[in-house]
Structure 1
Amino acid sequence: MTTALQPARRAVPPKPPRARLRIIGWTVAALVLAAHAVAWNATEISVSALVEGATGMGEFLSEAVPPELGSDVLAESASAAVVTLWIGLLGTTLSIPGSLLLALLATRGTAPGWVYQPARSLLSFLRAVPDVVFALIFVTAVGLGPFPGVLALVFHNVGVMGKLWAETLEDADPGPAQALRSAGAGRIQVAAHALLPVVTPQMVGLLLYRFDVNVRSSLVLGLVGAGGIGFLINQSIQLFQFDEMLTHILVVLVLIVAVDQLSALIRRLLGSTS
């Protein structure tokens, strides 16, 4: 008479006692509070200084309101806002080739093993250096103006987009890629015919998101001399023309809203055609 084989029962690990969980919880809470106390002292946060500065802030706002709405100021602000838009646009589109190349080199299965880690390291470096630091470097190299802002965004955006696109490629459905490899396809053929067609909508969505971010970043780059409306804001603050500064900020608000609406429209069009 044969007996059916029964699966071996595995011992269930005992649950940690509640007293131990409470000790762990209180220890973590104490560490978090201690870290916040150290950060509070290190950053020199002072509520009294904030209260004392309320008067100065009120004077600042009284000088900024109402904004200067003269035709000359508005024309200059609108022209600089358009330059800011072009900086963000070129900083995004000119980074596409480098981002795509490094993304493919930093994706397992589309690049040799000896290239994978160096490509990842290069992406980490470009991503770790802030675009403002790149802008300061290029302002020193090529002078003031929008050009160093475009260069700064291109270099930083290659690091960010390359990382995002590499993660998207690695998370793609491996089925089509495995089928092509079994048929003898090379790495480039696998990337071109199996991976990129599958993840193109996600990559375009990430690119539009970075375009939004780059337009905002180009505003900050203008504060360090990289052109655009950020340069006008910095100039207005230095000359104590706070009413003109508020005008420039309002124009920036209109620009950001317009870019958001444009990106949303493109996403809807892509969604309807997919």
Structure 2
Amino acid sequence: MSAHGTQSPRTPVTDTPTRRRTSVRTLPVPPDSRAPWRAGSWTAIIAILVILHLFAFEATDFRPDALVTGARGMANFLAEAIPPDFSPKVITAGISGALTTLWIGLLGTTISIPFALLLAVLGARTTSPNTVVYQIARAILSFFRAVPDIVFALIFVTAVGLGPFAGVLALICHNTGVMGKLWSEAMEDVDPGPEQALRTAGANRFQIVANATVPSVLPQLTGLLLYRFDVNVRSSLVLGLVGAGGIGLLINKSIKTFQFDTMLTYLIIVLVLIIVVDLASAWIRKKLA
């Protein structure tokens, strides 16, 4: 206020913030030194695969045009197979053979359980006593797994003669290797907490395996067992083609005698058997879940 009592006008104060321009410096992206190597490696891999496939086509006489030229033969085959032979004699023989195939798969799976479990315990790093035992168990599992079940069937057919017993022995050997390998991997992935607790309490190795390891992986072991049962039932069908009994033997006989309508009936029975086995396995898995 001035001396004469009048209020002097005020100059408005305006805050004008100073804007600072920040310049962002863009740095060039360094070139990826591995990019040419990756491109070259993928090119080499594709070229190698193409060359391998060319050798495979030549070695296997892979000729899709043969399907076209052989279409008439396939049509004649289907004409002789349709309609299938549903006579009581063929149906009875087919059901009997299918049940034999089922029993071969069942025994080949269940009898191999103790052998597979023993080798799985010895072949798992978490339960094996030492490195030597581990390597021996792994070698035995690899051998049983590497030899196909049909080769085992041919060996046992020579040893014990034609029939389902040879098929059961073949599945026991091969399934021991496959199931033992799967079970050992499941044991290696088990939670080590219960094992460490029992080990701290003074339990021996057998007690740890029986009371901690196996109960912890029992659902996985059961699921793998049911899966192998499905596979073994299908494998027992193939084993019958080399004389190991079951409905596979009947299919082989009907093909050799050119009774294609009978063969088709047996195939339908096999389809029903596989569906029943799949449904039963799914039901058991659901109950165990």
TM over 0.5: yes
* Structure 1: segments with no counterpart, 5+ residues: 1-12
Give the match for residue 224 of structure 1. Answer: 242
**Cα deviations across residues 157-206 of structure 1 (Å, max 9, x unaligned)?**
00011100000000111111122222222111110111111100000000
| The structure with more helix, counted as a fraction of residues | 1
Q: Map 1:262-273 onto structure 2 (within 5 A).
A: 262-271=280-289
Q: How does 1:11-26 map to 2 (within 5 A)?
A: 15-26=32-43
SS of corresponding position for 1:223: helix
Letter in 2 for 1:31: I
Report deviation, 1:14.
8.0
Shift of 1:256: 0.1
Which residue does the alignment assign to 1:169?
Answer: 187
Find the aligned partners of 2:64 and 2:287 in 1 and give their Cα distance: 49
- Counterpart position of 1:86: 103
Correspondence list, 1:129-140, <5 A: 129-140=147-158
Matched, 1:214 2:232: yes
User: For residues 201 and 223 of structure 1, what CA distance do their matches in structure 2 show?
Assistant: 34
* Greater displacement, 199-208 / 181-190: 181-190
Residue in structure 2 matched with residue 112 of structure 1 by the alignment? 129
Aligned to 1:58: 75
Could you state the TM-score of these two structures normalised by the residue count of structure 2? 0.87
Name structure 2 gaps, 5 residues minimum.
Answer: 1-29
Q: Tell me if structure 2 keeps the 8 A contact 1:81–1:228.
A: yes
SS of the aligned residue for 1:214 comes to helix
8 Å contact 2:141–2:178 — kept in the other structure? yes
Q: In 2, are the aligned partners of 1:107 and 1:116 still within 8 Å (CA)?
A: yes
Match of 2:93 in 1: 76
Letter in 1 for 2:251: I
Is 1:31 aligned to 2:48, yes or no? yes
User: Is 1:149 aligned to residue 180 of structure 2?
Assistant: no
Q: Which moved more, 1:44-53 or 1:166-175?
A: 44-53
Task: Give matches, 1:187-198, under 5 Å.
Answer: 187-198=205-216
What secondary structure sits across from 1:213 in the alignment? helix
Q: Choose 1 or 2 for highest CA Rg.
A: 2
In structure 1, C-alpha distance between the alignment counterparts of 2:242 and 2:96, rounded to whole Å = 19
Distance of aligned partners of 1:193 and 1:25 in 2 relative to their CA distance in 1, 3 Å threshold: same
Q: Does 2:169 match 1:125? A: no
Structure 1 residue 49, shift from structure 2 partner:
2.0
Report if the CA contact (8 A) 1:104-1:110 is conserved.
yes
Find runs of 4+ consecutive structure 1 residues off by over 6 angstroms: none
Amino acid at match of 2:158: T
How many residue pairs are counted as aligned between the two chains? 259
1:214-268 CA distance string (max 9 Å, x none): 0000000000000000000000000000000000000000000000000000000
Alpha-carbon separation, structure 2, partners of 1:83 and 1:236 = 17
Q: Is the 8 A contact 2:108 2:168 kept in 1?
A: yes
Q: Contact 1:219–1:228 (CA<8 Å) still a contact in 2? A: yes
Query: 2: distance between equivalents of 1:128 and 1:17?
Result: 39
Shift in CA distance, 260/21, structure 1 to aligned 2, threshold 3 Å: same
Q: Is the 8 A contact 1:205 1:267 kept in 2?
A: yes
User: Which amino acid counterpart does residue 46 of structure 1 have in structure 2?
Assistant: R
| Paired letter, 2:262 | E
The Cα shift of 1:17 comes to 4.3
Structure 1 length-normalised TM: 0.92
Q: What is the identity, as a one-letter code, of the residue corresponding to 2:261? A: D
Amino acid at match of 1:99: A
Shift of 1:212: 0.2
Tell which deviates more after alignment, 220-229 or 171-180: 171-180
Distance in 2 (alpha carbons) for counterparts of 1:249 and 1:35: 36
